[in-house]
Amino acid sequence: MHVLLIGSGGREHALAWKLRRSPLVSRLTAAPGNPGIAAEAELVALDPADHAAVVAFCRDHGVGLVVVGPEQPLVAGIADALAAAGIPVFGPSRAAARLEGSKGFTKDLCAEAGIPTAAYGRFRDAAGAKAHVARTGAPIVVKADGLAAGKGVVVATTVEAANAAIDACFSGDFGAAGAEVVVEEFLTGTEASLFALADGETAIPFGTAQDYKRAFDGDTGPNTGGMGAISPAPALSAALVDEAMATIVLPTVRAMKARGTPFRGVLYAGLMVGPKGPQLIEYNVRFGDPECQVLMRRLESDLAAILLAVATGRLAEVAAAWSPEPAIAVVLASKGYPGPFAKDTPIRRVPPSSEGVVVFHAGTALKDGALVATGGRVLNVTARAESVAAVRADAYDAVRAVDWPGGFWRSDIGKAG
C-alpha cells in the first residue's frame, strides 16, 4: 500500500519512522516533510492546503491511505475532500475537527452528554464574560474559542487578570479565534494526556503520556508547544484509563455519531486527574507533539494496519500492543523559543539512532547541503529502556552528543516530582 503522510514536524517524523516499519507499506510519501522524514519517506512538493492537488496526487499515484498529522489541514477540511474522492484518510472531517477547533462546541457537547469537565460559560462580548467572572471570582480560566496556536488560554489568579484576558481576546489578539470566549472553572489535580482511536462507531485507548509545557526546568517560564514527554503517563493507571474511556471518550464518540458528524481519527484528551476522577480539560483531534514520538517508540503493533482500520471503520478488528518499557522525548529548541529566535543556526552533529535512542527532526532544513534549525522546536531525542532512570540517562547522553550551539533543552524531562 502507498501511504501519504501530511505534515512536517517531529510528530510526523515519528509517524513516518513507524509506518516505514510496517510490512503493509510498500511506498511512503510525505508532504511537505523535513530532512529527518526524508530518511524514511519520499518527500513530495504538495501543498496540503491545496486539497484538489492532494486528491489528484492520491489518484495518480494509487495512494491507499492518507495520514494527516497536524490539526490545521483537518479543520480546513482535507479529510472531507479525500473521503469525497473515495480515498481512505486517517483524520476527522472538518465537522468532527470542531472538537479541537471550537472550545465552546466541545463544552456544549460535554454538557449534553454528561461528560465530566469544568463548569463554563460562552460569551460573544466582554461585558457578559466579565459579569460571569465577577459572579464566580478567581482563580478562573479564560479561553479564546478557536485555534490560537496554544496561546489562547489564560489561567487567571485574579479577577483583574481575567478581565485583562477577556479584553485581549475581544480586542483581536487571536483574530477570529477570539471572537468568542469560554470562561471556565479552575480545575485542580494532575494533568495527563490520554490518546484514543475512534472509527466513528467505537474507540480504543491508544496510549498515555505526560507532556512538559513550560520552557524551563521545574515547570518555569512561558508555555510552549511541549518541551518533552514521557509515556506511559505516571498519573494514569489502567483503571483511570478505563474510567476516562467510559466517562469521557466513548460518550464523545457516541454524541458525535448522534449528531451526524462521526469522529474518525485520534482523540487526544487533555485530562485533569483530581479527587473527582478524570475530567476533560480539552480535546485535540490529532496526536500530540512530542507525545506522538513517545507513543511510537512504545507501539509494538503495525501502525499502518491500525490507522487503515480507523480510516475504514474496522477498528473492532485490530488491537494495539505496547512495550511495557517507558519512553521519553527531550525537545531541543532554538534559544529564545517560544519568543523570537535566530533562524538557520547550524546543527553540526546529530547522534546516530541506535536501538534505544532515536532522534526525530522537527524544525530542520538543509541549506546548501548543511543541516540548519528553522523552527522553534527543532530536534526530539527519544529513548526507550527498562526504567525511567535508564531512559533519562540514554536520552540525555544523546542530547549532549548533539552539536548545536543555537539550541537549549530542559534537563528534567521524566524526572519525578
Q: Contact between 280 and ligand AMP (CB under 6 A)?
A: no
Q: Contact between 70 and ligand GLY (CB under 6 A)?
A: no
d(CA 289, CA 54): 24
Q: Contact between 7 and ligand GLY (CB under 6 A)?
A: no
Question: Phi and psi dihedrals of 208, rounded to 5?
Answer: -130, 155
Q: Binding marks (x or -) toward ligand GLY, 276..305, rule CB under 6 A? A: --------x---xx-x--------------
Please name the amino acid found at residue 270. Answer: G
Q: Pick what 282 binds: ligand GLY, ligand AMP, none; C-beta below 5 to 8 Å, kind-dependent.
A: ligand AMP
Q: Contact between 274 and ligand AMP (CB under 6 A)?
A: no
Q: Contact between 187 and ligand AMP (CB under 6 A)?
A: yes
Distance of CA 375 to the CA centre of its chain: 17
Identify whether the C-beta of residue 194 lies closer than 8 Å to the C-beta of residue 236. yes
If one counts every other C-beta atom within 10 angstroms of the C-beta of residue 338, the result is: 20
- If you search the block for the grid coordinates 512536517, which residue do you land on? 8
* 167-168-173-174 Cα dihedral, nearest 10 degrees: -80
Q: Contact between 145 and ligand AMP (CB under 6 A)?
A: no
Identified binder of ligand AMP from the candidate list 113, 155, 164, 318, rule CB under 6 A: 155
Q: Binding marks (x or -) toward ligand GLY, 228..267, rule CB under 6 A? A: ----------------------------------------
Identified binder of ligand GLY from the candidate list 104, 226, 265, 407, rule CB under 6 A: 226
CA-based Rg of the chain, rounded to a whole angstrom? 21
d(CA 229, CA 116): 25
Q: Contact between 153 and ligand AMP (CB under 6 A)?
A: yes
Cis peptide before 139 (omega within 30 of 0): yes
For ligand AMP, the binding residues (CB under 6 A) are 118, 141, 153, 155, 184-187, 191, 270, 281-282
Binding site for ligand GLY (CB under 6 A): 211, 225-226, 284, 288-289, 291
